[in-house]
Amino acid sequence: MSQALVIVAHGSHLNPGSSAPTYDHADTIRAAGAFDEVRTGFWKEEPSLREVLRTCEADEVYVVPMFISEGYFTEQVIPRELRLDDWDVADWDSDGLSADVATYTAADTGQTVHYCGPVGTHGSMTDVLVRRAESVTNDPDVGEGFGFAVVGHGTERNENSAKAIEYHAERVRDLDRFDEVQALYMDEEPEVDDVTDYFTVEDVVVVPLFISDGFHTQEDIPEDMGLTDDYRTGYDVPAAVDGHRVWYAGAVGTESLMADVVLERAADAGADVGAAIESVRETTRVAPGADD
């Protein structure tokens, strides 16, 4: 039976670059040859979530949401737009972090749809966060003498968003690789505005747990941390802030290793991906400083 992978994401009418990571990761997976088809669908761009299943000829479709946490989009918008009429969030049996897969028949196309949990709560996302630190510092062994901050929205936007931040901060901490690890938020304590207050080490890597670069990662966070007074003038990496060197990495979702997380989500749901995971890890885990 033929199998297709569909990566679904938010997209944006205002920021044309927001969909670029999704397209890039789809290209990487397509080149690995694990699926008969690899498609992308968006809430705010074409092809739309409502039509994306129609672009697949395969009978069996694995849908992986390029979202950080379980919430409104993964629990309501995407199932509705894909016409998964039997959808019930209870089928994920999740505590807000553990959504795995639920399988349905699409009402209009008759395809078997394996609807996976979001990439942001998968354990392998921790590897991508660390890889982001390696990339921004140009050091594959970065850790000793460095602090590490994971940044995201707080519970004001979505309780599960904060859970995902804490989850990955704890997993990075458990690696015992960085001297200090801290979860920081944009709209609640501990706030990213006060990043240097939470570290005693001089060097701090800051990685936003966002899928793509946009208003928050390119404007709000750099200004809030004091990297620059005006994002339009740019900032140094690392930037000197209150006696610290802040290595700001930009959105984790732009890291090429994200393709590995998408593949692992599909594999966990039962997709036959063969050697694609190993292949993608090899092609995306390039030496820091090399072109992705």
β-strand pairing of 60-65 with 112-116? parallel
Domain-embedded: residue 292: no
Q: Decide if pLDDT at 290 tops 60.
A: no
Q: Band of the pLDDT at 259, cuts 50, 70, 90? A: very high
Mean pLDDT score, 130-138: 95
Domain-embedded: residue 190: yes
Q: Band of the pLDDT at 291, cuts 50, 70, 90? A: very low
Consecutive H or E run containing 21: helix 20-32
What is the rounded average pLDDT for all residues in the chain?
Answer: 94
pLDDT of residue 292: 44
CB atoms within 10 A of CB 234: 10
Q: Are 131 and 188 in contact (CB under 8 A)?
A: no
pLDDT of residue 214: 87
Whether 20 and 64 share a structural domain: yes
- Domain span at residue 113 reads 3-121+255-287
Whether 247 and 260 share a structural domain: no
Helix axis angle, 258-268 to 20-32, nearest 10°: 60
Rounded to an integer, what distance in angstroms lies between the CA atom of residue 21 and that of residue 11? 10
Question: Residue 14: which CATH number?
Answer: 3.40.50.1400
Q: Decide if pLDDT at 166 tops 60.
A: yes
Whether 82 and 24 share a structural domain: yes
Consecutive H or E run containing 164: helix 159-174
Average the pLDDT over each of 50-54, 113-117, 150-154, 250-254 and give the range with the smallest value: 150-154
pLDDT of residue 143: 98
Whether 249 and 259 share a structural domain: no
pLDDT of residue 249: 96
Mean pLDDT score, 118-129: 96
Distances (CA, A) of 70 to 46, 75, 76, 94, 127: 23, 7, 10, 9, 20
DSSP class per residue in 227-268? S-S-GGG---SSEEETTEEEEE---GGGSTTHHHHHHHHHHH
Domain-embedded: residue 45: yes
Q: Is 103 helix (H, G, I), strand (E, B) or coil?
A: strand
pLDDT of residue 261: 97
Q: Is 105 helix (H, G, I), strand (E, B) or coil?
A: strand
Q: Band of the pLDDT at 286, cuts 50, 70, 90? A: low
- In the chain, % of residues over pLDDT 90: 88
Q: Band of the pLDDT at 157, cuts 50, 70, 90? A: low
Whether 208 and 282 share a structural domain: no
Whether 160 and 90 share a structural domain: no
| pLDDT tens digits, one per residue of 26-39 | 999 999 999 999 99
Give the total residue count for the chain.
292
Q: Decide if pLDDT at 152 tops 80.
A: yes
Mean pLDDT score, 248-275: 96
Rounded to an integer, what distance in angstroms lies between the CA atom of residue 157 and that of residue 155? 5
Question: How many domains does the structure of the chain reveal?
Answer: 2
pLDDT of residue 78: 97
Rounded to an integer, what distance in angstroms lies between the CA atom of residue 120 and that of residue 201? 28
Q: Are 202 and 146 in contact (CB under 8 A)?
A: no
Q: Are 47 and 39 in contact (CB under 8 A)?
A: yes
Q: Are 117 and 74 in contact (CB under 8 A)?
A: yes
| pLDDT tens digits, one per residue of 189-231 | 999 999 999 999 999 999 999 999 988 899 999 999 999 999 9
pLDDT of residue 13: 83
Whether 42 and 111 share a structural domain: yes
Q: Retrieve residue 286's tokens.
A: 């390039």
CA angle 140, 146, 148 (to 5 degrees): 90
